[in-house]
Amino acid sequence: MEIPFISTLGTMIMFDYDFMRHAFAAACVVAIVSGAVGYFLVLRGQTFAGHALAHVGFTGATGAVLIGSAPLWGMVLMTVAAGIGMGFMGERLSQRDVAIGLVLAFSLGLGLLFLHFYTAFAAQASTLLFGNVLAVDVNTIWALLALGAVSLGALAVISRPLLFASLQPELAEAKGVSLRLYGVLFLIVVALATAECAQIVGVLLVFALMVGPAAAAQRLTHRLAAGVLLSVMLALVEAWLGIVLAYYTDWPSSFWITALSIAIYILAATLIPPYRNYWRLRKSERLS
């Protein structure tokens, strides 16, 4: 019996629908941005920042809905503002876990309150929280493309001093690199990437594309260029395959993307390294 999701005819029919083509295009943009930005996010040990910005962004998105604006731009505005604030907090951010957790919970509750006041858009709460890539339209794709270009362009500009500041902060500061400045600039980039990523997997599942592929890539290689490229490729695989599985199973795409992200990370963390070390040992034995 033919397996549905590897059927050529089934794939052709899938791409006959506009919403599927839009979903793949949006997922492509978001996966590239989240894979690249997420690599530096994991490298700097700031994965909590992505989660925090997503919660704050939910408040911005629902607030925008309340005043009749597009949720994406409300999310962008709030996440960028929060990213700037978090960047200026610097090291103090890691010392205030309880306070930050309470602020995030309040942000989520405030967003739900906004939806309560404008019940006509209450159904958007599920989309904002868990994402719905199949509902992306052409205008959103162009907006994501513009935000993605800005995010990747800014990341490319600051990548060298950012890497220096991330790996050797004391030496970088001694050389005149402003840790606070690049911390703020990077969190602005993270804010834009988080707002994009939330359009695909939602506020509560941002970790799936922002952290999962990057963490898996860093388990597989320690080289920067290879790691960033691998992170982007893994994010693309997870996003596209998640959409395909959602199409054929009628299960939420966010679930599949998250499940694939976890599965790939577990594979990279537990199964692949022992085999890689085994073949390295065999190679050294042959050379000796």
Q: Which whole number is the average pLDDT over 18-43?
A: 92
* Percent of the residues in the chain that have a pLDDT greater than 70, as a whole number: 80
CB 208 within 8 A of CB 35: no
Tens of pLDDT, residue by residue over 50-102, are: 778 887 888 888 888 778 777 888 888 888 888 887 777 655 555 555 556 66
Closest residue by Cα to residue 55 from 213, 198, 199, 253: 198
pTM for the model? 0.81
Return the higher-pLDDT residue of 238 and 123.
238
| pLDDT tens, residue by residue, 173-204 | 888 888 888 888 998 999 889 888 888 888 77
Backbone angles phi, psi at 68, to 5 degrees: 85, 20
pLDDT tens per residue across span 1-19: 344 444 554 555 778 888 8
Degrees, nearest 5: CA angle 223-31-130: 130
- Whether residue 241 is predicted with pLDDT greater than 80 in this model: the reply is yes
The closest of 204, 230, 48, 212 to 132, measured between CA atoms, is 204
pLDDT value of residue 5: 44
pLDDT at 229 over 90: yes
Query: Rounded to whole angstroms, how far apart are CA atoms 52 and 194?
Result: 10
CATH number among 1.10.20.60, 3.40.50.261, 3.30.1330.30, 1.10.3470.10, domain 10-207: 1.10.3470.10
The whole-number pLDDT of residue 272 equals 65
Q: Which residue has the higher pLDDT, 40 or 279?
A: 40
Query: What confidence tier does 232 reach under pLDDT thresholds 50, 70, 90?
Result: very high
Domain ranges of the chain: 10-207
